[in-house]
Chain A
Amino acid sequence: MERIVSDIVYVGTGVLVTLQLLVGAICIGIVGGLLMSILRYRGTCRSLINGMVSIIRGTPLILQLGLIYFAVPGIFGIKLTAIAAGIISFGLNSSAYVAEILRAGIESIPKGQFEAAQTLGIPTSHMWKDIILPQVVRNVLPAMVGEIIALLKETAIISMIGCQDIMRKSQLLAAEQFVYFTPLCIAGVYYYLLVLFIEFIGRKIERSEKYDKSI
Chain B
Amino acid sequence: MIKVSNVRKLFNEITVLDDVSFSVEKSNIIGLAGPSGGGKSTLLRCIQKLDKPNSGTIKCDGRVCFMFQDFQLFPHMTVLENLTYAPALKNKTSLPAKLALEMLENLGIGSKADAYQRQLSGGQKQRVALARSLMIKPDILLCDEPTSGLDVATTMDVVTLLESVRNMGVTMVIASHDLDFLIKISDRILLLKEGRIAVDISPKETDNPVEYLKKFYSLPPQQFVETLKLSSF
Chain A residues at the B interface, C-beta cutoff of 8 Å: 110, 112-113, 115-116, 118-123, 126, 130-131, 134-135, 138, 210, 213-215
Contacts and interface: CB of A to CB of B under 8 A. Distances in A.
B136 interface: yes
Interface of B: 48, 50, 63-66, 68, 70, 72-77, 85-86, 89, 116-118, 132-133, 136
B72 A122 contact: no
A123 B89 CA distance: 9
A96 B35 CA distance: 47
Contacts of B85: 120, 122, 130-131
Contacts of A123: 89
Contact of B68 (A115, A122, A130, A210): A115
B75 A116 contact: no
Given A121-B86, A121-B136, A130-B85, A116 B116 contact: no
**What DSSP secondary structure best describes chain A's contact surface?**
helix
9 contacts: A112-B72, A119-B65, A120-B133, A121-B86, A121-B136, A123-B89, A134-B76, A213-B116, A214-B76
A120 B76 contact: no
B141 to A, nearest CB: 10
A112 B117 CA distance: 15
Contacts of B77: 214
A119 B135 CA distance: 12
Contacts of B68: 112, 115-116
Nearest to A109: B75
B50 A135 contact: no
Nearest to B50: A115
A215 B50 contact: no
